[in-house]
Structure formats: C-alpha cells, structure tokens
Amino acid sequence: MRHCHGDLVRTITALQLQLGDVVIPDTGPRRHVTLHRLQGAHPVVAVQFAEIPGATSFYPPTMPLLIEIPDIPINATAGRGL
C-alpha cells in the first residue's frame, strides 16, 4: 500500500514493531522506534521514539500501527514476514 506521500507503508500490530521502524501516526511527524518491549502483568507494548526523548508510549499489543517500508530488496524483509 502507498501512503499519501507516495511511500510504501504497512499496517502491523504494536507487538510486531522493531527497532528502527518508522511509525506514521494519525497526526504529527513520523517517529523512529528506539526502544520496544513488552511489559506488565496485563501486557502492554512500551515504545520510545527518537523524536520524543525520554518519553515512553504504551500500546495494547494488538493495536494497529502504520509503518513506512524502506526501499530494500524483497528477500531482505524475510525476518518480518512481509
């Protein structure tokens, strides 16, 4: 799928985020993932972004998020299961 800016994008769950992913929020600028972990008795995904130093955002594991897909060879994406 292509975003309105012409970039390739994909919807994944918060649990599927990886370090370095570029998240495209509903509003505001893109955000680069610098920390990603599952925490708590009722698990939530804790995420930190380079653009918001020191702040942690918490998401339900199944929350859908839009990420930018880098322009890389198709066989290099095998780890994510595209």
Residue 78 has pLDDT above 60, yes or no: no
User: Any bridge partners for residue 10, and if so which?
Assistant: 67
Q: Where does the pLDDT of residue 32 fall: very low under 50, low under 70, confident under 90, or very high at 90 and above?
A: very high
Share of the chain above pLDDT 70, in %: 79
The more confidently predicted of residues 2 and 30 is 30
Q: Where does the pLDDT of residue 41 fall: very low under 50, low under 70, confident under 90, or very high at 90 and above?
A: confident
CA atoms within 13 A on the CB side of 44: 7
9-70: which CATH number, 2.30.30.30, 3.60.15.10, 3.10.20.30, 3.20.20.150? 2.30.30.30
- Could you state, in order of their start, the residue ranges of all structural domains in the chain? 9-70
Q: What span, in angstroms and rounded, lies between the C-alpha atoms of 75 and 79? A: 9
User: Any bridge partners for residue 36, and if so which?
Assistant: 47
Q: What span, in angstroms and rounded, lies between the C-alpha atoms of 12 and 74? A: 18
